[in-house]
Homo-oligomer: A and B are copies of this chain.
């Protein structure tokens, strides 16, 4: 009985604490929605300065996070994502300044038309309101996500990973310094004040106080958020990206693109995971490409025909075709032409980014029309799947969903719109 009461009290106080965060965010959002471009940019630039001037404190907070992570024997990849140094802090600051330099999406008039009855209708960009972002160990997300939300006039509630809690709080202090120096509410960007996992559950039910949830992290985080959330989720699921070498491919382009698409950086979502090759060019194209990939340090898992070409190729199993390796591993399959390539991608892919290498315009158009992915590329590397490379500026992720935003999610994708109707006394017949 006593335990049950205590538990109830804790849940109730957690709920109250989280709702207070949401209520402050909602109030801040209504100020941010009307803030001028200049005010928002002043806050972003001041936050960048604060990151640089508080370098020592940031490094000290991060060192504590790293020491604790080491004492808990967390893996090397996590420690790498967690650690920040002067270079990474400068990159965060520069990132905020680049966001300041982006055009302000708010107030932009997307469309305007006049009806036969004289009503003038304008569709104008407005912020979404309050954005909840749930992420894992990278402390830089605190600065990037906070900055993107601020520029797009949205309040942000950030739930950082437990491992990076001290680093994220130190970065937040810099963002708040920027906000306050521009006269904007400190609550424009808030961190969830507790690492209690139950706080995430409460957050995902606050559909009156949060307008959209963006999870950034691994598949299990995104699946938990999607399953529990009462709030719409903008999600970035797997990037099982494909490059298809068509019969009409130029060999030199194919060779340089494949190695770049797989090996430039293997841990990014736009890295190619599966190579498909038209049977007609196996002899001419695939052999040199296998050599290139091996030379670059890539392991290759192939179907039986690919294995027959080169003894170093190991066997791909059914699971390989739907695996996002995020590592120096590629799966290779030989297919009969562009339609078979499209069928393979639609069956095993994740609708993120796919490329065809060909000089044949018909094959290219068949591929572009048949592939239902956020980004479909002809004759270039899948690693161009990035908001910056698209010229959209910083991004909060690549949406693999089709609702609201698809592909890179930058400041413009963090907005909604409203209709403004100007009349002169019209009534509806």
Contacts and interface: CB of A to CB of B under 8 A. Distances in A.
Most central of A253, A346, A386 by chain B CB within 10 Å: A253
A128 B403 contact: yes
A211 interface: yes
B406 A416 contact: yes
Contact of A403 (B211, B226, B256, B423): B211
Given A378-B423, A404-B404, 19 more contacts: A30-B346, A115-B389, A121-B390, A121-B391, A128-B402, A212-B402, A232-B233, A374-B418, A379-B424, A379-B425, A380-B421, A380-B427, A383-B427, A383-B428, A384-B426, A384-B428, A389-B428, A406-B418, A407-B418
A419 B402 contact: no
A212 B404 CA distance: 11
Contacts of A380: 119, 421-427
Interface residues on A, range: 35 or more
25 contacts: A34-B370, A121-B390, A128-B402, A129-B402, A212-B403, A232-B403, A250-B425, A256-B425, A256-B427, A257-B427, A368-B420, A372-B418, A373-B418, A377-B421, A379-B422, A379-B423, A380-B422, A381-B428, A383-B427, A384-B426, A389-B428, A404-B404, A406-B417, A407-B418, A407-B419
The 6 closest A-B CB pairs, nearest first, are: A380-B423, A260-B427, A253-B425, A402-B416, A404-B404, A380-B426
A249 to B, nearest CB: 10
A2 interface: no
A348 to B, nearest CB: 14
A274 to B, nearest CB: 18
Given A129-B402, A421-B376, A426 B381 contact: yes
Nearest to A351: B418
B260 A418 contact: no
A384 B119 contact: yes
A391 B257 contact: no
B419 A376 contact: yes
Given A383-B428, A391-B115, A418-B406, A369 B423 contact: no
A4 interface: no
A366 to B, nearest CB: 10
Nearest to A261: B427
Interface in A190-246: 207, 211-212, 226-227, 230, 232-234
Interface string A124-148: 0010110000000000000000000
A346 to B, nearest CB: 8
B212 A427 contact: no
A421 B128 contact: no
A401 B207 CA distance: 11
A375 interface: yes
Contacts of A207: 226
